[in-house]
Chains A and B, each alone.
Chain A
Amino acid sequence: METLGMFFFSLTWSTVSFIAHNLNIRLLVCNLRRCLLGVRMPFVAMLKDKISRAFYSHGLMCASYPVPIISFTTLCVLVCCYPLLKLPLPGTGPLEFVSSEKANSALLDGIELADYTQIPSWYVGSPVAYVQQVIVKAMVSPWEQSLIPADAFRAPLSKVFEVIDEIRNHQQRTSERSVNIEDFCLKVSSLLPGLRKLQNFLPEHSCLIVSPANFWQNDLSRFRSDPDIVHTMNQHQTRPFQFSTSLKDLLFGVPPKYGGVSQYYVRERKRVLVFAITIILQAHDSQFVQSLRKKLQMLYPGSSVSRGEASVVHVHFQEEVGIAELVPLVTTYVILFAYIYFSTRKIDMVKSKWGLALAAVATVVSSLLISVGLCTLFGLTPTLNGGEIFPYLVLVIGLENILVLTKSVVSTPVDLDVKIRIAQGLSNESWSIVKTMASELVIVLIGYFTMVPAIQEFCLFAVVGIVSDFFLQMFFFTTVLAVDIRRMELSDLARRPLRETSENLYGLRTRTRSKSVWNRDGFMTFPCNIPLASSSLRTLRLPRRLRVVYFLARTRLAQRIIMIGTVIWIGLLVYTDPTGLRAYIAERVSQRGHIEDGDFSNMALAGFYAEQTDVADVVETRDRWEGFGRDAAGSSRPDSPYMRGPDRRAEITAASGAKRSRGSLKVHAERDLPKEILWDKNDDAIWRRLSFRHWPTLFSYYNVSLASKYISILPSIPLLVTLSADFARSLQHPNEVEQHKMSILHEQSNITEAEPACGKTQHPPTHGHYRAAGLGFILGAVLVGLTCALYKLLCPKDYGQAGHLHRFRPELPCDDYGFAPAISETLPIVLMSGHPLDIECVAANGSMLVTCCLSGSVMLWDALTGELLSVFPRQTCRAGESTWLSESDTTERGQRESVESESVQEFCHGETEILTDFDFAESPLNVDSPHVSPHLPFNFTFSVGTTVGDLRHQNFASAAANNLSDASFSSQRTSLTHRRRCRSPSGDSLNFLGTRAVPGSPSPSGTEAFEAGVAWCLAMKENIIALGCGNGQLEVWDAAVDGLHCKHQESSAGIIHLVCHQKSIVAARIDGMVDFFLLENSNLQNQTWRGDMGSVRPSTDISLRLMHSVCPAHRKPITALRVAAGRVVTASEDHTLKIFKLEDSCCLFTLRGHQAGVTTAYMDQSMTLASGGRDGIIFLWDALTGSKVNHMRGHHSSILSITCTPNYVVSAGTDYKTCIWDRQTALLLYSIPQEPGCSPSFGVVSDSLLVTCGLGCLNLWEMSYGRLVQTVYLSRAEEYELVHQILVVGNSTIACHMGKNINLVCLPSVLDKID
C-alpha cells in the first residue's frame, strides 16, 4: 500500500507543481470544454500547443527569478534527501552484535528471544567458529638488578607452554564420558600452498590453537635453547606498516602495542608481557569452557578477577570485493563516464561549458538522490546494491533532455532578450521532452509489471528518478542556463567598448538592443547598433602595480588557497587513517622521544641503573659514571673489550655488582611498573583493538572464508602471572647474558668519551632513528610532488609569461566580471617600404604582396614575414625592353604617345603647382587628379566620393604635397635598394631618382626616363603581376625573377581596373572600354633577347595577346570590375552592371535596377553578385540568370565597398558605417560605425571575421555575433596613423597601408579560435 501511495505521489508531485503555476486554470477548463464539444482542433495539436505555451511561460518565469527558483530547488532536493541520513553507509568493516552469554545459549537451544528486532539480519545460523582467548599477563616482580632485559620476556613467555599444556590436558568429566579440547576445537587441515614458510609456526592437521609458543613449535626445550627469543619473534615482521596482520600479531593474539614485545625491546620501559592463547572452537559448550576457566584460574590464583556479565560478541564480516565482482561494476562505470563525456561535449556556445556540464551532472545525481530519499521516506528500504544500479539509473534517466534544452535555447536568435530566448527554447522542445518522458515512463511501468521484485524495485527508483529529474530540469537546469546565457551576453557586451565617459568607466551599459517587437517566429525586426568606444577610453591604462595587484587577487590567490586547502585535506585524510600512518608515526615518535630526552644512555642501561630525574640522583649518577669511566678506561685501554678474557669480564661483573650493592641506585623497573599486575576493564575487549583483518587472515590461511559470515568471540579468560626473579634468572640464556654485558661495556666507553659535565651524551642515531628519518624524508618528497602536481593541475597558466605579454598594452576597461576585450598579441610587421611617395595600389596572392606607389616603383614583399623580396626595376630595364618590343609597330607608336603623356604626368608628381594648373580647367572640382588625362575622348564628371579611385586620388593629392620634403630621403633608400637588388646598378637610375625628387627641379628631358607609365592599378595571379598604367599600357611582370614579361599598349586610355583570372587578364579602361587579354607561353627560340641592362631574363617567356575588346562597354566610367566563375562583371556610373562571359567576352546580361551610379560590385564563385550604388541600395543578383534576388536598404549615401561571405554581406559606405547583412534574408544584422577619420575599407578573414579600421588600430569583429573579438594596435596608442586600405592576404594576414608604409598583421590566434 505504501509503495503504491509513494508511486502515485512521485508521479504527480512535479508534474502538478509544474502545470499548476503555469497553466491558467480558466484556459484549461475552456480548452477542455472545447475539446469535449468536439471542436475541430485535433487533440494532439491542441495538446502540443498547450504544452508549448506552458513551457513558454515557465521559461519566462525561470529566467525572471533565477535566485528564488534555484534556492527553492535546492531546498527541495535537501528535503527529499533528508531520509537518506537514516540509511546505513555501505562499508566493508565488520559488524558486531553483542549478546549475553545466556542469550546466546538460549538461542542455541532454539528459544526465541524477546527483542528479536535487535538481531541483525546476518545473525542467522551458527558461526563459522567460536574464538576463545586466554589472555596472559605476566611480569617478573620484583625486578632485581641482576636481571638482564631479556629476562623480562623470557620468563613470562615460558609460562605459555605451561598454560597450553594445561589446556590440552584439560578433561571435563560429564556423566557419559570425559571430553577434552580435542572434541570442541576446530580441526584445520593444511595451510594454503603459498604459505610454506609459515608451516612451522601455524598448526596443521590439528586443533587451531595459536599462541606465542608456536614460535618454538610448542616445544619448551627449543625455547630454552633459543639464544635470542626477540629475534625469533620478530623474524616474520616483514611489513613496516601495520595495515595487515603479521605472524607475530596472529600468534600473540593481542594488539602489538599491548604485547610488550618490540624489536627494540631494550629501550622499552614496559615490562609486563601480554599475550593470548587463541583457541578456535568449532562448537560451543559453555560447561566445558567454564570448567576450563575455573581450572586455569585455580592454577594461577592471582587472576581471580571479578567480572561483570560476560557477553559473547558476534562479528560479521562483509563480503570482500573481489576482482570478479568488480568487473561489471567497472564496466558500467566506464560506460557511464564515456556517456557523460560524449554528452557534455555537445554543450556548446555557452559562457561556461564546465559549469553547465556540472549542472547537468548535478541534476541527474540529485534526482537519483531524491528518488532514493523518497523511496526511503515511504518505507521502501533499498535492498539493491546502490553502487551497482547507479550507472544504469543514470543512463536510463539520461542527459539527453538537458542537451536538447541547451541546444534549443542556444539556437534561438541572439538578439532577443534572455527571458524570451529561454522561453522560446523551452517551448520549441516542449513536445519532444514531454514525449520522451512519457515513453520512458511507459517503458519503466512495463518493467514494473514483470513482478520480479528486484526489477520492480529498480523500476520504482527509475520512475521517481525520471519524474524528479524532469522537475529538476525544468526548475534547476533551466534557471542555471538562463543565468549562464545572461552572463554570456554580459561578457559579449563587455567586449564591446563603451561609449561612456570617465564617471562610468567600470559600469555596465545595457546593450542597445531592440526591445521593440518580438514576433512569434523569432525574427528580429530591427537590427542592433553596435556602439563603439571613443578612442580616448581605449588608451586608458591603470598603473601597473595596481594591475598586478588585481591580477593576483583575481586568479592566483584564490587558486593557491584552494590548492593549499586540498593538500591539507589530503594530508589530514592520510594522517587520520586509523590503521595506517598515524599509529606508526606515533610509535616512531615515542621511540625517538627517548633519544631526544637525552637519557638514552640510561635507557640503554635500563634495568641496571636508576633514571636520573632527581638532582641528587644526577650527582650520584655522575659519580657512578665517573667511577665506571675510570674503571672501564683503566681496563679497556690495552685492548678492545672483545679481546678480554673471561676473568676480566667476571671482574667487571663483580665490580658492578659491588656498586649495585651500595643500594643507592633505584631500579628503573620498580618505578615504572605497578607492584602488582591488574586487570582492568579495557583488557576484556582487547581483541577489539586488533586489526579488523585479524580473524579473516587467520582463517584464510586455512582457506576458510569469513565473507558474509560471522564468528563468535567468547569472553576471554584472563590469567595474571607474577614471576620471581630467581625463576627468571634460572631461564637466562648464556648468550644473552654475554651480549648484555658487552653492550654495557660499550655504553660505558661511549660515556667516557662524552662530556661528563653536562651529563648528557651524544649517541649515534640507531636503526629506528634512521627509519623514522627516512620515512619523514619520503613523506616530504611525496607531499612536495603532490603539491607540484596539484599546482600544475589547478593553475595551468604560466603567470610570468602572461604578465610579460600584457606589458605595453593599453588597458581596456574591464567589467564586473573582470573581462576585457582581448587585445591581440600579434605585433604588426611594419614594412618600411622604400616607396618615395604614397602607396597607390596593393595586390596580393597567397604569399606575396605587391605594392606600387605613385612614383611608379613596384615592390614585392613576402606577405607572411614582411621580407622585401624584390624591387622591380621599371625604369632601368626599360631600354632593353624597348629594343625587344620595337619589333612591333604598335608598341613603338604607343610608346611614343605615352612618352608625352607620361612626361606630363611625371612632371606633375614633382610639381604640384603645375599639376593643379594643368588640370584645373578641365576638372569640375578642385580636388582632382592627374589621372584625368588630357587625352580623354569624352567627358567625365567626378564628384567627391564617387569612386573608389577617388579616395586614392585624394590621398595622392595630399601625399604629393606633403611628401615632397622627405622624398629625397626615401628615394635614396630606394636607390640603395636598387643597387642591391639589381645585378648591374646603373648610374642613370640613381641619378634619375636623385634628381627627380628635388622639388622644383625640372625633370630630366630624356624620353627614356618616363617611358614607364604611372601604375593606376595592379593585379596579381600566382607569379604574374599585371600593372595597369595611366597611359593605357599593360605590363606583365614575373614575380619570381623580377623580370618584365611583356607589355601591351594599344589604347592610350588609362587602365583603371585590372583583374587576373587564370590565364586571362581583364582590363577596364577609363573610357569605358573592357579589354580581354590572354597570357600565352611564347616560343623562346624565336625571340632574340638582347636585353642586358640590369634586368634578368624571365625563365619562361609569356606574351600577352589581346583577345577581345568591348568598346564601349559602358557609356560612363567603369567603377568596378570583378571576375568569378567564368563571368566578368562591370559596374558603371551609368546605373547598370554588365555580365560578360570570360572566354568570348560576350555580354550576357545588363542588369538594371540601381537608381544611381553603381559604385561597387562583388561576385563570388556561387555566381551571386552584390552591387552597391550611390543611392545607398545594395542589390543581390543571380549572375547565372541575371535576375535580381534581393535588395537591402540601410545606407544613406553611396556605398564604397561590398563583400559577400557564405552567410553575410558586408558593405561600407560614405555614411561612416559598416553594415553586416544576412545574405539569405537580406536583413541588417549589425551596423558598425566607423571611427571618424578612418577609411571605410574593410576585409573579411576566413568568412567569419571582419576587419575594420580604427584610429591607429584594426578592429576584428566576429560576424556571427557582431562582437569585437580583438583590437590590433598598429602603432603606439599615442600616435594615430590613418589606415587607408585593408587587404586580406591569404587567410590569416591583413595588410593595411597607411601612407608610405604597409603594416602586416598576422592573426593566427583568431584563426585558431574560429577554426
Chain B
Amino acid sequence: MITKSYYMRVEKIFQSGMQRALSSVRFSRDMTRPPCVLIRAAVLFAVGVLLALLLQAFWPPSVLGLHTTGPPRAGPNTWWLFPVCGVAAAVIGLLCPCIDSRIGGPSLARQEWTMVLRCLAVFVGIIHAGAKIEFGSEERLALTLALLSLGLWWAYDGSWGGLGVGLGNAGSAVLVAHLLLYNSTMTSPSDLLFARSWLPSTFFAGGVTVGNIGRQLALYDWQGAPVKMHTS
C-alpha cells in the first residue's frame, strides 16, 4: 500500500520541479547577485525542511491510521522527503517577491518580522487544529481548514500575488495527490476524502507563509539592512 507520506513526497517533487522550471525564467535577473539569492534560498530551504518535519510530527502515520496495515515503513525511504520540501519552499519563497515586484505585493506595514511570525504561528495552528481537533466529518474539517487558511491569507498577506501562489500550491498539491491516488491500486475511499479535506488548505496556508518569509528575507537584499525598516 502506498502510504500518505509517499503521496506527499511525490507531489512535492512534482510541484517543486514545476516551480523550478517556472522560476528559472523569471529569476535569471536575480541570479546576477548570487550570494544574496543563495543565502535566501538556503534559509528558505531550511524553513521548508523544518516545516516538513513539523508536518511529519503533527501527522504521524499513527494519526493517519496507516501503521496498522502492512509492515512499518522503511526508514531510508523518508529522509529525502525533507529536502524536497525544502526545495519547494525555496522556490516559493524566491518566487513571491518576484511576483510582488510585478503585480504589487502586500503593504509595507505587513512586512515585518512580527507579522511573519504571527503568520507562521497561525499556520502551525492550522496544522495543529487539523490534526488534533475532532471534527464531525471530513466536510466540516475541510470547510474549517479552508476558512482558517483564507483568514490567514487575508490577515497576513492580502495580496493577489500571495493568493495566486497559495492557490497554485494547493492546486498542484491536490492534483498530484489525486493522480497518485487514482493510479494506485490500493486506494481506499476514506484516504481520498481525507486527502481532499486537509491537503489543499494546508498547502495553501503553507504557500502563503513561506511566501511571507521569502518576502521578508528579500527585504534584506533590497535594503541592505532591514534595521532601517524598523527605525523608519
A and B are interacting partners: yes
Inter-chain contacts of B54 with A (CB < 8 A) = 327-328, 331
User: Is A450 in contact with B124, judged by CB distance below 8 angstroms?
Assistant: no
Q: Do residues B114 and A399 form an inter-chain contact, with CB atoms below 8 A?
A: yes
Mark each residue of chain B from 117 to 130: 1 if its CB lies under 8 Å from any CB of chain A, else 0: 11011101100110
Least Cβ–Cβ distance between B71 and chain A, in angstroms: 18
Asked whether, in the complex, the Cβ of B144 is within 8 Å of the Cβ of A342, the reply is no
Is A455 located at the chain interface by the 8 A CB criterion? yes
Q: A327-B54, A455-B129, A455-B133 are in contact. Are A335 and B120 (CB under 8 A)?
A: yes
Chain A neighbourhood of B120, CB < 8 A? 335
Instruction: Look across to chain B and name the residue whose beta carbon is closest to the beta carbon of A337.
Output: B117
- Complex contact A450–B114 (CB within 8 A): no
| Neighbouring A residues of B147 by C-beta, 8 Å | 446-447, 450
Kindly specify which of A143-151, A387-395, A555-563, A1045-1053 makes contact with the partner chain: A387-395
In the complex the two chains form, is A455's CB within 8 Å of B144's CB?
yes
Residue B60 at the chain A interface, CB threshold 8 Å: yes
> CB-CB < 8 A to A324: which residues of B?
57, 60
A399 closest partner in B (C-beta): B114
Interface pair A343/B121, CB less than 8 Å apart: no
A546 → B minimal CB distance (Å): 42
Given contacts A336-B121, A452-B140, A454-B132, 11 further A-B contacts (CB under 8 A): A327-B58, A335-B121, A339-B118, A392-B122, A392-B128, A395-B122, A400-B114, A443-B155, A454-B134, A455-B129, A455-B133
Residues of A within 8 A of B112 (CB): 342
Cβ contacts A to B, 6 pairs, < 8 Å: A331-B57, A339-B121, A399-B114, A447-B148, A450-B140, A452-B135
Question: Do A454 and B129 touch across chains, with their CB atoms under 8 A apart?
Answer: yes
- On chain A, the residues within 8 Å of B132 by CB distance are 388, 454
Q: Is A930 an interface residue (CB 8 A)?
A: no
Complex CA–CA separation, A452 to B128 (angstroms): 14
State whether the Cβ of A659 lies closer than 8 Å to any Cβ in chain B.
no
Contact in complex: A450, B230 (CB < 8 Å): no
Q: Which residues of B contact A336 (CB under 8 A)?
A: 121
Interface residues of B in 140-196 (CB under 8 A from A): 140, 143-144, 147-148, 151, 155
The distance from the CB of B165 to the nearest CB of chain A, in whole angstroms, is: 22
With A443-B155, A455-B129 known as contacts, the answer to whether A335 contacts B124 (CB < 8 A) is yes
- A395-B121, A452-B144, A454-B133 known; A339 vs B114 contact (CB < 8 Å): yes
Chain B residue numbers with a CB within 8 Å of A339 are 114, 117-118, 121
Does A345 touch B at the CB level, under 8 Å? Answer: yes
Interface size for A (C-beta < 8 A) is 31
* Bound-state Cα–Cα, A327 to B56, Å: 10
Q: How far is the CA of A325 from the CA of B128 in the complex (A)?
A: 11
Whether B220 is near chain A, meaning CB under 8 Å from some CB there, is no
Give a binary string over A336-380; 1 marks a CB under 8 Å from any B CB, 0 the rest. Answer: 101100110110100000000000000000000000000000000
Q: Is A332 part of the binding interface, using a Cβ–Cβ cutoff of 8 Å?
A: yes
Q: How far is the CB of B85 from chain A (nearest CB, A)?
A: 15
B113 contacts A by Cβ under 8 Å = yes
Q: How far is the CB of B133 from chain A (nearest CB, A)?
A: 4
Contact partners of A343 in chain B: CB under 8 A: 114
Cβ-neighbour of B124 out of A328, A346, A348, A447 (below 8 A):
A328
Chain A min CB distance to B147 (Å):
7
Give the CA-CA distance A669 to B24 in the complex, in Å. Answer: 90
Q: How far is the CA of A1208 from the CA of B111 in the complex (A)?
A: 32
> Which B residues are within 8 Å of any A CB, using their own CB?
53-54, 57-58, 60, 112-114, 117-118, 120-122, 124-125, 128-129, 132-136, 140, 143-144, 147-148, 151, 155, 230-231
Closest 7 CB pairs of A and B: A327-B57, A339-B117, A454-B133, A395-B121, A342-B113, A335-B121, A392-B125
When distances are taken between beta carbons in the complex, the residues of chain B under 8 Å from A392 are: 121-122, 125, 128
- Which residues on the A side are within 8 Å of B136 (C-beta)? 452
By the criterion CB–CB under 8 Å, are A388 and B128 in contact? yes
Contact for A452 among B57, B124, B133, B231, CB less than 8 A:
B133
Q: Does any Cβ of B come within 8 Å of A813's Cβ?
A: no
Interface of chain B, helix or strand or loop or mixed? helix
Residues of B close to A450: CB separation below 8 A: 140, 143-144, 147
**A338 neighbours in B (Cβ, 8 Å):** 113, 117
A466 to chain B, nearest CB (A): 14
A255 contacts partner chain B, Cβ-Cβ < 8 Å: no
A399, B125: Cα distance in complex, Å: 18
Chain A residues in 8 Å Cβ range of B114: 339, 342-343, 346, 399-400, 403
The smallest C-beta distance from B23 to any residue of chain A, in angstroms, reads 27
Q: How far is the CB of B109 from chain A (nearest CB, A)?
A: 10
Bound-state CA distance A454–B133 (Å) is 6
Contacts of A1213 in B (CB 8 A): none
Digitize A415-456: 1 where CB-to-B-CB distance is under 8 Å, 0 elsewhere: 000000000000000000000000000010011001110110
How many Å lie between the Cα of A331 and that of B54 in the bound state?
A: 8
* A1032 at the B interface (CB under 8 A): no
Contact A328 B57 (CB under 8 A): yes
CB-CB under 8 A from B125, the residues of chain A are: 332, 392, 395
Q: Collect the chain A residues with CB atoms within 8 Å of residue B133's CB.
A: 452, 454-455
Contact of A335 among B58, B117, B129, B151 (CB under 8 A): B117
Chain B positions within 8 Å of A212 at CB level: none
Residues of A within 8 A of B135 (CB): 452
How far is A335 from B209 in the complex, measured between Cα atoms in Å? 13
- Inter-chain contacts of A1028 with B (CB < 8 A): none
Q: Given contacts A328-B128, A455-B133, is CB(A346)–CB(B230) below 8 Å?
A: yes
How many Å from the CB of A1315 to the closest CB on chain B? 12
Q: Which residues of A contact B53 (CB under 8 A)?
A: 327
Min CB distance B82 to A, Å, is 14
Chain B residue at smallest Cβ distance from A457: B133
Asked whether any CB of chain B lies closer than 8 Å to the CB of A821, the reply is: no
Report the bound CA distance from A327 to B136 in whole Å: 26
In the complex, residue of chain B having the shortest beta-carbon distance to the beta carbon of A335: B121
Q: Which residue of A lies closest to B115 (CB)?
A: A400
Query: How far is B121's CA from A1261's CA once the two chains are assembled, in angstroms?
Result: 45
The answer for the CA separation of A446 and B150 in the assembled complex, in Å, is: 12
Nearest to B118 among chain A residues (CB) is A395
Q: Which B residues are in CB contact (< 8 Å) with A443?
A: 151, 155
Considering the chains assembled together, what is the distance between the CA atoms of A388 and B60 in angstroms? 18
How far is it, in angstroms, between the C-alpha of A348 and the C-alpha of B120 when the chains are bound?
A: 25
Q: How far is the CA of A437 from the CA of B63 in the complex (A)?
A: 36
Separation of A396 and B231 alpha carbons in the complex (Å): 25
Judge whether A398 is part of the interface by a CB distance below 8 angstroms: yes
Residue of A nearest to B60 (CB): A324
Q: With A and B bound together, what is the CA distance between A438 and B59 in angstroms?
A: 34
User: CB distance B230 to A345 under 8 Å?
Assistant: yes
Q: Chain A residues near B122 (CB, 8 Å)?
A: 392, 395-396
Assembly CA distance A718 to B26 (angstroms): 83
Q: Which residues of A contact B117 (CB under 8 A)?
A: 335, 338-339, 342, 395
- Output the nearest chain A residue to B133 by Cβ-Cβ distance: A454
Closest to A398 in B: B118
Name B143's closest neighbour in chain A (CB-CB): A450
Contact present for A328 and B144 (CB under 8 Å): no
> Which chain A residues border B151 with CB–CB below 8 Å?
443, 446
Which residues on B sit within 8 Å (CB–CB) of A335?
A: 117, 120-121, 124
B124 near A331: Cβ-Cβ < 8 Å: yes
- Return chain A residues, CB-CB under 8 Å to B60: 324
